[in-house]
Amino acid sequence: MPDLLFRALERASRGRRAGFDVEWRETWDSRASGFYHALGGEDWLPESLLAHLCADQSDHLKRVALVTREGSPWAVAPMRWNTRFWRPLLYGICPPFPEILSCGGLPETMAALNAGVSINLGREDPAGVSNLRWASSAPNYELPLHAPPERYWRTTERWKSVVQARRRSAAFVMVRDDAPSVEWIIRTWRRRWSTGRPADTAAQWRDRLTFNRWGLKTGAVKSWALFDGERPAAGIITVAHGRRVNAQTIVRDRDYDWYGLGNRLLAEAAMDAFESGMERIAFGGRFPYKRWWAPQAGVSHSYILAPFPLHVANWAFDRIDGLGRQLRS
């Protein structure tokens, strides 16, 4: 019921922002294709991949927002509905590829939709955009690759952990860029982090798997998996675009905690990026342990945009939900 209520309120709250017109397409159709080509989408992601991702609505309602400014195509934004807000469909899947195709930045484009939107750990500051209702920031960690990664890890004593993990897991087999291993990594990640809520990042597992299958074929995605005999023990997936690399997914079988396999895999991925001539590798934000692997590089921004009626409804829902939890405890 809350999902239907918020969908209805969200649709009713939309309005035209000065200078922008927005069309919401139910799938990737010829209209979306026209915007894609008008905005140079060939340099972004393949249209066939985007159409596939938008068509699979197994876990989420998906739409394609087409933004026109002064009569000309201005943005294409594939979006997913997470029961209370829209979120870019490619969030947590494709970076360092852009999550949308737009003549503006992510905050400006999301504000142009004039809809309820939730962004988690975006790179751009939303300050000053319309309908901004809440915002926070968290440290972002990236390792410049102008020197061997080992140099930084020695300053944080992480190098000792890498050496130890290599020694303990010397008998394990490393498998590179392997489709079955990628599927195991994604499914294990889903089991570890999913709570069953559509708003969870882990609820995007099917789309992450689809993207990674494409990326393995093109070289945009790389993977490392450690096997104890025939049994997968841990794995990591990275995504590269231009000269940037992002650590996308890392998992381990908890039975192998003693081996420190995460340390070995993160080191493998970072050193591969260095040897491939990449400029930097991003480890993401929020969690303090990441400073062992990379220095802070600015902040990531999380925020909510919502027209006023939807903002009031969200405020009321939060208060009622909080009161209900208090009464049940």
Domain ranges of the chain: 2-131+306-328, 142-298
The pLDDT tens digits of the residues spanning 234-284 come to: 999 999 999 999 999 999 999 999 999 999 999 999 999 999 999 999 998
* CATH numeric code, 142-298: 3.40.630.30
What confidence tier does 5 reach under pLDDT thresholds 50, 70, 90? Answer: low
**CATH code for 2-131+306-328?**
3.40.630
Using the CB atoms, write b or e for 125-136: b if 16+ within 10 Å: bbeebebbeebe
The pLDDT assigned to 4 comes to 60
The pLDDT > 70 percentage for the chain reads 93
Cα–Cα distance list, 104 to 100, 204, 237 (Å): 10, 25, 29
Q: Which of 273, 266, 313, 326 is nearest to 85 (CA)?
A: 313
Contact assessment for residue 226 and residue 130, using Cβ atoms and an 8 Å cutoff: no
Torsion of the alpha carbons at 125, 131, 133 and 135, rounded to the nearest 10: -10
Contact call for residues 80 and 89 (beta carbons, < 8 A): yes
pLDDT at 59 over 90: no
Asked whether the beta carbons of 223 and 216 are under 8 A apart, the reply is: yes
Residues linked to residue 235 through DSSP beta bridges, in sequence order: 225, 251
Tell me: pLDDT of 328 over 80.
no
Residue 1 has pLDDT above 50, yes or no: no
Segment 20-29 mean pLDDT: 95
Quick one: which H or E segment has residue 253? Answer: none
Distance, CA of 135 to CA of 288 (rounded, Å)? 20
200 band by pLDDT with thresholds 50, 70 and 90: confident
CA distance linking residue 284 with residue 268, whole number of Å: 17
Helix (H, G, I), strand (E, B) or coil at 288: helix
Distance, CA of 300 to CA of 287 (rounded, Å): 12
Mean pLDDT of 27-37: 98
Closest CA to 181 of 227, 228, 148, 114: 227
CB neighbours of 211 closer than 8 A, spacing ≥ 6? 49, 53, 90, 93, 94, 221
List, in order, residues 6 or more apart from 74 with CB less than 8 Å away.
20, 39, 67, 68, 102, 103, 104, 112
Going through the chain in order, the beta strands assigned E by DSSP cover: 20-25, 61-69, 72-81, 86-88, 101-102, 117-122, 132-144, 173-176, 221-228, 231-241, 244-252, 280-285, 296-305
| Helix ranges (DSSP H) in 93-204 | 106-112, 149-155, 158-168, 179-193
- Same fold: 2-131+306-328 with 142-298: yes
Q: What is the pLDDT of residue 134?
A: 95
List the one residue out of 282, 310, 317, 287 whose CA is nearest residue 297: 282
Q: Looking at the DSSP assignment, which residues form a beta bridge with residue 177?
A: none
The residue-averaged pLDDT of 60-68 equals: 95
Q: How far apart are CA 109 and CA 180, in angstroms?
A: 37
Task: Please name the amino acid found at residue 166.
Answer: R
CB 247 within 8 A of CB 281: yes
Q: Tell if the pTM clears 0.85, that is, is over it.
A: yes
**What's the whole-number average pLDDT of the chain?**
92
